A = this chain, B = another copy of it.
Amino acid sequence: MGEIKYNTKQREEILELLKANRDRCLTAREICGMVKAGEATVFRTLSALAKEGTVSKFLSGGTPTYQLNECGAHHEHIHLKCSECGKLIHSDCSFIEELEHHFEKDHSFKVDRSKTVIYGICSECGRGGGQKK
């Protein structure tokens, strides 16, 4: 299934799940558990979607995870990921442009927002001293 030709329930369900979790990263395993589709289908679908650019694959705490790429390369936001609770925050503010501008101007480096993740501690965890492990 290198390229997508037909639409199927399975793929739709996987996409629905990813949409419902736009702000989280899901592992392949989690997706398998949440969808009525076989493992092979999940992996095949995810890799087809990743190839298309519809989803992105990240490394979250050592484990590969997938997340909808609701933007294409041209959306005005970047991801902040909390190392404590795992939350993925979408930062939409205009600072991103400044950031891109800086790296492009001073380092000739074209930032790819869709892949970049800034790690740190989110407001909740920073305040409360962290919740989960």
Residues of A within 8 A of B (CB): 47, 50, 57-59, 62, 64, 80, 82-83, 89, 91, 93, 95, 99, 102-103, 106-112, 115-123, 126-127
Contact = CB atoms under 8 A, between A and B. Distances in A.
A108 B95 contact: no
A118 to B, nearest CB: 5
**Top-9 shortest CB links A-B:** A108-B123, A115-B119, A59-B59, A111-B120, A110-B121, A112-B120, A110-B120, A112-B119, A116-B118
Nearest to A123: B108
Given A99-B99, A102-B95, A116 B120 contact: yes
Protomer copies: 2
Contacts of A123: 107-109
Nearest to A95: B102
Contacts of A107: 80, 89, 91, 93, 123
A118 B110 contact: no
7 contacts: A47-B62, A64-B64, A80-B107, A82-B109, A109-B123, A116-B117, A116-B119
B122 A108 contact: yes
